Structures are given as structure tokens and as C-alpha cells.
Amino acid sequence: MIDLRSDTLTRPTEEMRRTMARAEVGDDVYGEDPTVRRLEERVAGLLGHEAALFTPTGSMANVLAVRSLVAPGQEVLCEASAHIARAELGAHGAYSGITMRTWIHPRGQVDLPVLETLFAPDMGPFFVATAAISVENTHNFAGGAVLPIEDLRDLREFATAVGARVHMDGARIWNAHVATGVPLAEYGAVADVMAVCLSKGLGAPVGSLLVGSADAVAEARIWRKRMGGGMRQVGILAAAGLHALDHHLERLADDHAHARLLAEACGVDPETVDTNIVVVPRSDAADFVAAAREEGVLLAPVGPRTVRLVTHLDVTRDDATKAAEVLARLA
Ligand SMILES: *Cc1c(COP(=O)(O)O)cnc(C)c1O
């Protein structure tokens, strides 16, 4: 089976497993795991922030990140199909007492004129106060779309001018960086806090990080423990992340090339595919997915009229070529 359902499906390589097995470890709740410390310092450095915190999932990193900017009873603005709004099961409301208002953009982009109308930091004791704006780069449900750095800089300028904080869900910031050549630190510079994932295209089995100021990270460390996310000899997992950054970052360009190949096979303009996710409009989504499965290609239906396919570390050039043949025939 060629599995194009998600880039979370990657399995650790033999080399990654060997690196994990050898990792130096300690109790990370005591702050004594040297491999976790190395990973946190490295990722903070890459994104140009003071500190980072290793978390079991990207959802937990997002919950900790957003709550560091937004108090209970306040709101965060985000795009309507953002992961924080749709795919975290209401965590920001359930745990943090935060509400959201959303803008809609088919490619998940920043819409500054609309944001200006939504932003309401203080309308007296009648309306919820906006504390932060959240953006997702790349944008998952918008088909892995990159948010251009110019738009993000304009957002930063607006946010600073009006006193809003900025959260970036950078689960796939690595893909944005490789696709555009924009240094990671330039993306980092537009956000007060970020969340990044090691367990998507980078191919680690588990792990995400929250990145931000030393103060924000110190507070997030307390809340992580409070939420039951304090982990002990977790350097074994951090080692997978370090290995992924060493060996699986630049190769994301291959995933992007494979995604364009598959897009073309499905009749989607490859020019519209920024990174490793292809959204295919199909009125027969369920039938198309079933037919592809018969031919050894797994796809994900994301609604009755849309199919999503995602390339990743475990999809070789050969796999992508074979899958493209199958999909072209079925399409
Ligand atoms: C995968 C993902 C996350 C985190 O997901 P977890 O499964 O909780 O690790 C966050 N944001 C986006 C955009 C994602 O795609």
C-alpha cells in the first residue's frame, strides 16, 4: 500500500531508531534530560526565540502557546479552518476558557482588512476582548498553503501597532521554510509564540515544541505538568527529533515535488500546490478513495466532495510515480 492519508503516518527509520536507543537521558521533569535540553535549545535557536518546551503533541503545544497570550474570557482570532479551531476538539475553550472568532480564507491566508474589523481589544464591559491573532503556516486544511512572509510581516506590524499578540501554528513551518527558502528565524520573528511539530514530514514518531520567550516557556512548563504532560526519560524521543532535523529537513523538497506530480495526475494545477498536501475536489470522494484503495493507494476523504493526499518520508519517488499512474487512470 502507498499511504497518502497523512504525513503523521511515517515510521522511524532504522538509523533514527539506533539514535534513539543510544540517547543520553535523565528525568526531564527535574530538568535533567540532556537530550531534551539540546533539542529545546536547538529549536529555539532555529526560530530565533529565547526558549522552547518539548511537548507530546502539537495540540498540547498549541494549547500552551495560546493560553500564554490569551486569558480566560478573552478571545483569539484565527482563520475558520485553522487546526486550533477545528481539530483540537475545543481544547482552548475546554481547558483555557478562551473563545475564538474566525475569518474565512479559502487558502488560509491572513486577511488584514477583515482582521482590522474583527480586532476589538476593549469595547467596555459588553464585548469579549481580543488578545491575540493566530495564523497557521503552512495551512493544513487549505492544502498545505504557505503564508507569504510579506503578509506575516504586515500582520506583525499591525499587531504591534494595536497591542495584539501573535501565535503561529507552525506544525509544518519546516515545509514553508524549504518551499520558500525563507529562513526559519524570519518566520519566528513574526510570532510571540509558536508551536512546531517533529512528527509530521520530519518523520519523528512523537513530539512537538512550543517556542517563545523565556518567561512564556517557564510558565508553559508549569502548565504542561498541570495538564499531565510532564515526561521523564523522554530524551529517547527528543533524540528522534534531533535526528530528524539533521537528516529529514532538506529532503522535504522531495515531498513537495512528489505532491506536484500527484496533483497533476488528479487534474489539479501543480502551481497551486505549495508544499506536501494536495486537496482534490471530487464529487465522488468516497468512491474515488475506494477505487484507489483497490489499486493499492490510500487517500483520505475530507468531506463528501474533497479528497486529500499528503506526501512524506515513507513515500519514495517510485511510490509517487506509481500512485500518480493509478490516480491519473482513475481520475
Ligand atoms: C498535526 C497538526 C497539529 C498538531 O497535531 P497533534 O496530532 O496534536 O500533534 C497542529 N497544527 C496543525 C496545523 C497540524 O497539522
Residue 22 reports pLDDT greater than 90: yes
Mean pLDDT of 118-128: 94
Q: Could you report the per-residue pLDDT of 96-115, keeping only the tens digit for each?
A: 999 999 999 999 999 999 99
pLDDT above 90 covers a percentage of the chain that reads 99
d(CA 126, ligand 1 centre) in Å: 34
Hey, whose CA ends up nearest to atom 3 of ligand 1? 58
Pocket of ligand 1, candidates 83, 310, 312: which has the most ligand atoms within 8 Å of its Cβ, to mutate?
Answer: 83
- Residue 208 has a pLDDT of 98
pTM metric for this prediction: 0.97
Residue range 128-138: mean pLDDT, rounded: 98
When pLDDT is averaged across residues 225-239 and rounded to a whole number, the result is 98
- pLDDT-derived band at 303, boundaries 50, 70, 90: confident
Q: Which residues on adjacent β-strands are paired with residue 99?
A: 75
Ligand 1 binding site (Cβ under 6 Å of any ligand atom): 57-59, 62, 83, 136, 140, 169, 171, 197, 199-200, 208
For a mutational test of ligand 1's pocket, the pick from 54, 92, 141, 169, i.e. the residue with the most ligand atoms closer than 8 A to its C-beta, is: 169
For 26, other C-beta atoms within 10 Å of its C-beta total 17
pLDDT at 318: 98
Question: Closest ligand 1 atom to the C-alpha of 62?
Answer: 10
Average pLDDT over residues 204-223: 98
Q: Which ligand 1 atom is the nearest neighbour of the CA of 57?
A: 9
Mean pLDDT calculated for residue range 63-71: 98
Fill in the DSSP letter of residue 145. Answer: B
Residue range 133-160: average pLDDT?
Answer: 97
First to last CA, the chain: 19
The number of angstroms, rounded, from the C-alpha of 137 to the middle of its chain's C-alpha atoms is 7
| Dist CA 6 CA 201 (whole Å) | 9
- In the predicted model, what is the mean pLDDT of the chain? 97
Q: Cα–Cα distance between 218 and 205 in angstroms, integer?
A: 25
Q: What is the pLDDT of residues 247-276, one digit of tens each?
A: 999 999 999 999 999 999 999 999 999 999
Q: Is residue 55 a contact partner of residue 65, using CB atoms and an 8 Å limit?
A: no
Q: Is residue 330 classed as helix, strand or coil in its secondary structure?
A: helix
Centre of ligand 1 from the C-alpha of residue 87, in Å:
8
pLDDT at 225: 98
Convert the pLDDT of each residue in 184-194 to its tens digit.
999 999 999 99
- Residue 83 CA to ligand 1 centre (angstroms): 7
Cβ neighbours of 315 (radius 10 Å): 25
Q: Which domains does the chain have, with CATH numbers?
A: 10-247 (3.40.640.10), 251-330 (3.90.1150.10)
Ligand 1 atom with minimal separation from the 138 CA:
13
Is the separation of the CB atoms in 50 and 212 below 8 Å?
yes
Q: Which atom of ligand 1 is least distant from the CA of 169? A: 11
